Amino acid sequence: MILFRRLALVVAGIVVLVGAAAVVLWRGYEAPGPLAESRTVVIPKHSGVEAIGALLAERGVIDNATIFAAGVWANGFARKLRAGEFAFPARASPADVARHLAFGQPVMRRLTIAEGLTTTQVLALVAGAEGLEGTAPQGAGEGALFPETYSYTWGDGRAEMVARMKKTMDDTLAQAWAARAPDLAVTTPQEALTLASIVEKETALAAERPMVSAVFQNRLKRGMKLQSDPTVLYAVTRGRGALDRKLTHADLDTDSPYNTYANAGLPPGPIDAPGRAAIEAVLHPAQSDALYFVADGTGGHVFAKTLEEHNRNVARWRSLQP
């Protein structure tokens, strides 16, 4: 009987100690954490609970990896913790951290592709985007990747990002083409994309794009050469992008199907990735008989219907040059 009583006391003591330890662990699990300000941490793929706890402790998000792991297992969150990039708020408790990893939103990153970039330039931006994985596939045609700001999370694939860009361009062009104005000089969506890529480079002013589009379409209808400097630039650089000097008269003789000073009609394809506004300008040009335009010295252009008027505008522009 005495032995039984002693054993019962030992068991009771153990139960008390375990209960006390559980209370201490749970209080630590719910207690505010050490972060003085928000911090972002990337949780690698295939990380176990203990490895995640160790990483969070190393980054100063929690005080004790053991308390974190114990709480996660007790809560049944062990199979719910996700990899990715997460932002943890200041003073987040281990319980808050676990809930965020299980149910919260990962950090959304953004990659901005500006209008007028070549495919080579776009793929370079995708290759350098922090957090994307894998390699960017090569072979996307010029003008095939839509310029826009794309959201992504850490660990997304570069191939998937490029596929999104291509689908967005395909969808945008198809929708715009379906709603096009009548009697255009372009007869296919690809021709519209090609002309839009030229319009994109010719002016940065949104209000001018329909007029620039009208000039080029008027010239196409009359069989006149487009004589667009950006097409020469593309021919000279072979689509690599910017040129570290001004175009010269010799450049205008560049032997290339993209040189619209040497060749009539549209070039074989786009010279960059035009944005939605440039595409819409091609498919809804201004109502104008203008055939020429030249810079006006203030960032815009002046348009003319006749060569005589255009020559006067050119002379005026040259007089403004230093």
Q: What is the pLDDT of residues 296-306, one digit of tens each?
A: 888 899 999 99
Confidence band for 8, pLDDT divided at 50, 70 and 90:
very low
Residue 254 falls within a domain, yes or no? yes
In this structure, are 244 and 223 located in the same domain?
yes
The span from the CA of 21 to the CA of 35, in Å, is 25
Residue 187 falls within a domain, yes or no? yes
* pLDDT for residue 18 is more than 80: no
Q: State the CB neighbour count (10 A cutoff) for residue 207.
A: 10
* pLDDT for residue 7 is more than 60: no
To the nearest 10 degrees (0 to 180), the angle between helices 94-103 and 2-30 is 70
In this structure, are 251 and 292 located in the same domain?
yes
Q: What is the pLDDT of residues 241-251, one digit of tens each?
A: 777 788 888 98
Mean pLDDT of all residues belonging to the chain: 90
What would the mean pLDDT of 22-26 be, rounded to a whole number? 57
In this structure, are 240 and 252 located in the same domain?
yes
pLDDT at 245 (0 to 100) = 84
In this structure, are 196 and 270 located in the same domain?
yes
Q: What is the pLDDT of residues 158-214, one digit of tens each?
A: 999 999 999 999 999 999 999 999 999 999 999 999 999 999 999 989 999 999 999
In this structure, are 92 and 123 located in the same domain?
no
What would the mean pLDDT of 249-268 be, rounded to a whole number? 94
What would the mean pLDDT of 114-128 be, rounded to a whole number? 96
Residue 21 falls within a domain, yes or no? no
Burial (0-12, 13-18, 19+ Cβ within 10 Å), 145? buried
In this structure, are 192 and 282 located in the same domain?
yes
pTM listed for this prediction? 0.85
Residue 16 falls within a domain, yes or no? no
In this structure, are 213 and 226 located in the same domain?
yes
Residue 25 falls within a domain, yes or no? no
pLDDT at 117 (0 to 100) = 96
What would the mean pLDDT of 71-94 be, rounded to a whole number? 94
In this structure, are 132 and 255 located in the same domain?
no
Confidence band for 263, pLDDT divided at 50, 70 and 90:
very high
Q: Which domain holds residue 132?
A: 109-169
In this structure, are 99 and 116 located in the same domain?
no
pLDDT at 240 (0 to 100) = 79
* pLDDT for residue 28 is more than 90: no
* pLDDT for residue 154 is more than 70: yes
pLDDT at 11 (0 to 100) = 42
Q: What is the pLDDT of residues 231-244, one digit of tens each?
A: 999 999 888 777 77
Residue 124 falls within a domain, yes or no? yes
In this structure, are 161 and 56 located in the same domain?
no
Amino acid at 273: A
* pLDDT for residue 67 is more than 60: yes
Tell which of 59, 74, 107 closes a domain. Answer: 107
Q: Domain tally for the chain?
A: 3
Which of 3-12, 245-254, 270-279 comes out lowest in average pLDDT?
3-12
The span from the CA of 172 to the CA of 301, in Å, is 28
Query: What CATH code is carried by the domain that includes residue 42?
Result: 3.30.1490.480
What would the mean pLDDT of 257-276 be, rounded to a whole number? 96
* pLDDT for residue 10 is more than 60: no
Residue 232 falls within a domain, yes or no? yes
State whether residue 87 is helix, strand or coil.
strand
Residues above pLDDT 70, as percent of the chain: 92
Asked if 71 and 99 count as a contact pair (C-beta separation under 8 A), the reply is: no
In this structure, are 301 and 262 located in the same domain?
yes
Residue 123 falls within a domain, yes or no? yes
pLDDT at 79 (0 to 100) = 92
pLDDT at 5 (0 to 100) = 52
Q: Encoding tokens for residue 243? A: 């040129």
In this structure, are 158 and 199 located in the same domain?
no
Angle at 16 between CA 12 and CA 18, to 5 degrees: 115
